[in-house]
Amino acid sequence: MRVLRTAVDFRATLLQLWAATAAAHPLWARLFLSPLSRLFQGLVYLRQCGYRYRLRAVRSLPGQVISVGNLVVGGTGKSPTVSFLTAALVGTQRQVVILTRGYGSSLQQGEWCILLAGKVVQSSGLRKPFCADEPRMLSCHHPTVPILVGADRYAVATHYLQTHAAPQLWLLDDGFQHFQIHRDIDLVLLSGSLPLGNGWVLPRGSLREPASALDRAHALIRIGTSGQETVAWQGCPVFTLRQEITHFYRPARGSLWGPQVLQGRQIACVAAIARPERFVASLAAQGLQVVQHYFVPDHHPLCAGKLAALVAQGLLVVTTEKDYYRQPEDFCRLGEAQCAVARLETRGGEPLLQWLESRLHPQVQPGVRRAAE
């Protein structure tokens, strides 16, 4: 428990640094974190050179590959965006497969699995029962779309193609830094509040690589800002998506609650996400009274005993879909009147979908390999 508290405290310190301008950083951060950030940036550059100069293999998949990634660590809304794009692309009668690393899942080194309708239908032979948050959430939202989970996403795709026809589209989740697979379209998500953090790469800042990496992007997507207009940014189109909590549902029955039903209840906000403070702000914007919270690091399992203790205090436990799908049994055991799951909807995406449609190749047939550009 002490280790968990230390991790939470260290994470809070980093978040404060990442939210502040570099000029406002304390002396210890400048002395100790600046050299580490420069070292990290150098390692990122060497890794990119390996793929740029073909010292490491870049492989192509049959069909088109759309990557949805980001430049900063965590909390930019990738999963809701992937879900939004999946629904839109499936709606155009295209065959779609999602490739995801499954960060924070129970997969061991070298293991992989394929999900369909929330269940594992094929795997490498798992040593532990599969447990994950984002892959299972995506699979339950889109039951007809295969979700391929594994650190080596090309290897998982190869296994899939041995028994299935190639889809027209691959959605590569968190793929902007995944150079092993050739991408036809790179979409990069930027937070509306701090799109490029404080300008520093890890650990002094939140950037995974320098801002100049945006030159590789085909389009940028800003999350959380108002307006739906399409503007130009250094020759790259920028689109705006809004992600809002629209309703809540009961874990056991799935029946929907509007925000007004929860007003007047004392709420315990529970989450294991990268930016829990945004979740609290979203609940407050709905007029809900958050009196207590229980946060753990991103993808970390929540303690079932702690959840039960919150309910015993007469509090209504409200969590995210991502957290619910990681451990649904624990939330269902709280009782249908004592727990609510917040459903996030993505809106304002029509300009993005129109632009994406202009880049897709409807003539691509399943099973036909497209030459790498």
Has residue 111 got a pLDDT over 50? yes
Task: For domain 245-344, give the CATH number.
Answer: 3.40.50
Average model confidence (pLDDT) across the chain:
90
3-class secondary-structure state, position 161: helix
Task: Give the dihedral sign, CA 349/350/355/357.
Answer: positive
Least confident of 55-59, 104-108, 179-183, 266-270: 104-108
Q: Supply the pTM of this predicted model.
A: 0.92
Domain 64-242+348-359 in CATH 3.40.50.300: yes
Please tell me which residue, 364 or 159, carries the higher pLDDT value: 159
Token reading at 88 = 């839109």
Rounded distance between C-alpha atoms, residue 140 and residue 297, angstroms: 24
Residues 6+ away with beta carbon under 8 Å from 210: 41, 44, 201
Token readout for 260 is: 């007004």
Phi, psi of 91 (to 5 degrees): -65, -20
The reported pLDDT for the residue numbered 1 is 59
